[in-house]
Amino acid sequence: MGKQTRKPRKRRKPAVGQGLSTRAIHAGEDRERYADSITTPIVQTSTYAFKDSKEIRAYTKGGKERFEYGRYGNPTEKVAQRRMAALEGAEECVIFGSGMSAIVTTILALVHSGDHIVITDDAYKKTLEFCSSYLQRFGVGCTIVPFGDYDALDRAIGPKTRFIFSESPTNPYLNVFDLVRLRRIARKHKVLTLIDSTFATPANQRPLEFGVDLVMHSGTKYLGGHNDILAGAVLGRKELVDEIRVLHKAIGGVIDPHCCYLLLRGLKTFALRMAAQNETAMRVATFLEGHPCVKRVYYPGLKSHRHHRIAKAQMDGFGGVVTFDIKGNLATAKRFLDGLKLCFIAPSLGGVETLITHPALVSYYEYSRKQRYDLGITDTLIRLAVGVEDADDIIADLDQALKRTRRAGRRKR
């Protein structure tokens, strides 16, 4: 296909006084709260009492807004959902007990036996596993297409296709989906579009502004921001989210009130954390790209990234994850990880602590070396998720571990 021309994005102008930080702190909360508390209280209950039979009828027949049972909603959860919707620019939001619960429930709510979906091959491993292995039990077909091959994506859509699912940026190579082209293809075939935007967050990218139908987040990561909760969210148009909410009540993947409280607490510093992590990740990526022990760096903010132009056009920041390939072999990668003193070796991301992981050892340990390499998971691939420590300290830790690894390699030779 020829070179695509991109129309400049029309940015939504928030109401006066409603910037990202303001929404992250105040959105979704009533001005007056129980006992005049500043923070939203934790309503720690599984069920709610009715005053009398008239109130039951007002609720069941008259549509009175109130709570009945914990699986159907909670006051603390309600505030978190409204705040998330305000950050993403969505009509509605439903929150789950984990990101995978959000993804699985959404997919099951949107398909019927005989339907078909299309997903890109750079999606999260567990998402791919569910779509390629489990959906067939329900008579739902799944086609996996190479990420970035928009012609293959176009061809994969058939008369029974219900939606296109992808991530942006992806894990671990931080590939960025051209959301303008995604919308064009989806509208041509009249199918829905779902984007997992966990790595971007609403601070850096809001897919709904590009016409994407549903956005998903693992609230475990940047939204919670402290490596202490599990949460997931789905956001979009009211009619679609309500459809998902119905199944959510039946499946029961709910988030508990205390986790909602921690999510709300984390969101209060969300804008500040993302600004710091965006800046630190850019500095770290630039440092690593110039390091003699590093073969290649993958970060959308770098001009060397194959989707830098797309990221620059549709993102306000490039995120806190930097993936890089070091020179050497598996033993080299292990020595590097073992030499770190500040960064924790851990598989998650998005918290205030800097975490680093080795996909081959942690996420793909059950795969053969050939299977891993076919997926692009090499022996020397490292994924770094920067926290909010001083950037100089993170860089110094990486530098000393890389240098120590190089010296150890020379001694062995």
Q: Which residues are catalytic?
A: 71, 124, 196, 221
- The helix or strand, by DSSP H or E, that contains position 259, with its residue range, turns out to be helix 257-267
The DSSP result for 20-47, as a single string, is HHHHHHHTT--SS-GGG-SSPP----SB
Three-state SS annotation for 317-366: CCCCEEEEEECCCHHHHHHHHHCCCCCEECCCCCCCCCEEECHHHHCCCC
Coil/strand/helix, residue 92: strand
Q: Which residue reads 């970060």 in tokens?
A: 299
Q: How many helices (H) and strands (E) would you count in the chain?
A: 16, 12
List beta partners, residue 166.
195
Per the listing, tokens 């967050």 go with: 201
Tell me the C-alpha distance between 137 and 236, whole Å: 28
Residue 90 phi, psi dihedral angles, 5° rounding: -105, 155
Euclidean distance between CA atoms 336 and 403, whole angstroms: 9
Residue 143, SS3? strand
DSSP assignment of 285-296 equals: HHHHHT-TTEEE
At 379, the amino acid letter reads D
Q: What's the CA gap between 94 and 324, in Å, rounded?
A: 35
Specify the amino acid at residue 371: Q
What gap in Å lies between CA 213 and CA 207, rounded to an integer? 8
Residues 177, 149 contacting (CB under 8 angstroms): no
Nearest to 263 by CA among 77, 396, 410, 393: 77
Two structure tokens written together for 67: 């709570």
Side-chain-side CA neighbours of 214 within 13 Å: the count stands at: 28
